[in-house]
């Protein structure tokens, strides 16, 4: 008997799903396997996902309080109405956020009002507390054997430059001071010189790995301290300008995103280590096999994974010398986001975009008097910049 709970929803082009399963048995005892934590880039998404209708009801009934984003959006709409003299009625649209009355509809739009720097809807991940006999976390008669978490990356910078100079939107967002200094693996010469006759004149034939015979010196594994900086090219033909220590490159995990994923790891520890005793309290050679980690091959998802692991097992809970392994698949085999190597998926994606434009462009057209002069033209699903791109920049 292996009961599982799966919550699934679709929002326009994105599918967010949460699998939070109790793989359990009443008749037999299977050794626990551990927790599998996967980080998805575009979708795969949110461990904080839950039933939309219930969340929307809570938000509208006042159980979930409006955030500053919600309040400022209402004020912005009122200001725009006064500025252009357009008669707009502010109503609560999907997700509990205000929108203009009109044909704009985003079916089951998934917004997550939450405190910046913390996991969205953290109350869905209970903090450690004494065992509650009336409402146990694990239903009576069941045993927790596996827990799989599919997690979207933390808050990130916009994926490209848009709307520079509009309001307070900068050319480069200075939100990424943490992700600057790293150690990288390099192949290094051992002491004793780095020259030989083979290195003078024509280079020697390439070898799979440099050796004393081909380089005149032995080599060894080493680490190099590096600092990664963003470079902004600016107008066409301009020289690149080296960014500051907090400037983000496009799509980079921000300091806020690092904090929220760190907090998520801490909450997972509180539940699975402190409360349930399901995961080991520390990581060493004997406990590493009880966990497995996988990420898509994107810097922001890999760094989000690292932050979650840090929240689960900080440096004081990792045995010195223990390396936390994580897996990355080739993009042709990746299934944590829509894999565009699938011809059928590309066709469905194009059809979805066309349908979204058909549904939403008429409503967006009503906003042309307000938005056209801001975004540089009519705002449409497939315009330049695209509607979702404008939203991406505005959220940051």
Could you give the CA distance from residue 56 to residue 61 in angstroms, rounded to a whole number? 8
Nearest to 1 by CA among 204, 141, 162: 141
Could you give the CA distance from residue 179 to residue 254 in angstroms, rounded to a whole number? 8
Could you give the CA distance from residue 324 to residue 127 in angstroms, rounded to a whole number? 25
Identify whether the C-beta of residue 119 lies closer than 8 Å to the C-beta of residue 48: yes
Q: What global pTM score does this model have?
A: 0.64
Who's near 350: CB < 8 A, 6+ residues apart? none
Each of the 396 residues of the chain gets a pLDDT tens digit; together they read 333 332 222 222 232 222 222 222 222 222 333 344 444 333 323 332 333 344 445 555 666 554 443 344 344 434 444 443 333 333 333 333 333 333 333 333 333 445 676 776 666 776 655 555 566 778 888 889 999 999 989 999 998 888 887 777 888 889 999 989 999 999 888 765 555 555 555 555 555 566 655 555 677 889 999 998 888 776 666 677 788 889 998 899 999 999 999 999 999 999 999 989 999 999 999 999 999 999 999 999 999 999 999 999 999 999 988 999 999 998 888 888 888 788 888 898 889 989 999 998 998 888 888 888 888 888 889 888 888 888 888 777
Structure tokens at 118: 């913390």
Nearest to 301 by CA among 349, 339, 340, 252: 252
Who's near 381: CB < 8 A, 6+ residues apart? 353, 356, 357, 360, 361, 364, 387, 388
DSSP code string of 357-380: HHHHHHHHHTTHHHHHHHHTS---
DSSP code string of 117-186: TS-SSGGGSPPP----SSS-SSPTT----EEEEEEE---B--SS--STTSTT--SS----SSTTEEEEEE
Could you give the CA distance from residue 97 to residue 100 in angstroms, rounded to a whole number? 10
Q: How many CA within 13 A on the CB side of residue 177?
A: 2
């Amino acid at each position: 008997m292996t009961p599982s709970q799966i919550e699934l929803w679709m929002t326009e082009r994105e599918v967010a799903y949460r699998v939070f399963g109790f793989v359990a048995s009443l008749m037999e005892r299977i050794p626990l396997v551990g927790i599998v934590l996967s980080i998805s880039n575009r979708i795969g998404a949110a461990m904080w996902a839950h039933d939309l209708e219930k969340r929307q009801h809570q938000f509208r009934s006042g159980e979930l309080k409006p955030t500053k984003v919600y309040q400022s959006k209402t004020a912005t709409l009122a200001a725009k109405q006064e500025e252009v003299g357009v008669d707009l009625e502010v109503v609560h649209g999907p997700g509990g956020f205000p929108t203009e009355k009109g044909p704009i509809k985003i079916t089951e739009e998934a917004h997550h009002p939450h405190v910046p720097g913390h996991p969205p809807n953290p109350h869905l991940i209970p903090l450690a507390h004494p065992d509650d006999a009336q409402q146990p976390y694990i239903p009576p008669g069941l045993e927790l054997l596996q827990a799989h978490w599919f997690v979207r990356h933390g808050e990130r910078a916009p994926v490209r430059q848009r709307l520079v100079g509009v309001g307070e939107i900068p050319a480069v967002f200075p939100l990424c001071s943490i992700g600057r200094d790293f150690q990288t693996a390099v192949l290094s010469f051992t002491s004793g010189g780095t020259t030989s006759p083979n290195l003078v004149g024509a280079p020697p034939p390439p070898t799979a790995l440099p050796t004393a015979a081909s380089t005149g010196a032995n080599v060894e594994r080493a680490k190099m301290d590096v600092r990664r900086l963003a470079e902004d090219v600016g107008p066409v033909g301009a020289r690149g300008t080296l960014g500051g220590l907090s400037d983000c490159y496009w799509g980079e995990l921000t300091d806020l995103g690092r904090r929220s994923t760190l907090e998520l790891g801490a909450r997972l520890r509180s539940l699975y280590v402190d409360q349930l005793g399901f995961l080991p309290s520390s990581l060493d050679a004997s406990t590493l096999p009880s966990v497995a980690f996988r990420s898509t091959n994107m810097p922001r998802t890999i760094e989000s994974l690292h932050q979650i692991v840090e929240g689960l097992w900080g440096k004081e809970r990792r045995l010195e010398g223990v390396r936390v392994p994580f897996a990355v698949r080739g993009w042709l085999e990746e299934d944590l986001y829509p894999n565009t190597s699938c011809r059928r998926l590309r066709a469905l994606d194009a059809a979805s975009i066309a349908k979204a434009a058909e549904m939403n462009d008429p409503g967006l057209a009503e906003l042309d008097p307000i938005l056209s002069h801001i975004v540089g033209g009519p705002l449409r699903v497939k315009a330049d910049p695209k509607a979702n791109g404008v939203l991406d920049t505005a959220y940051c």
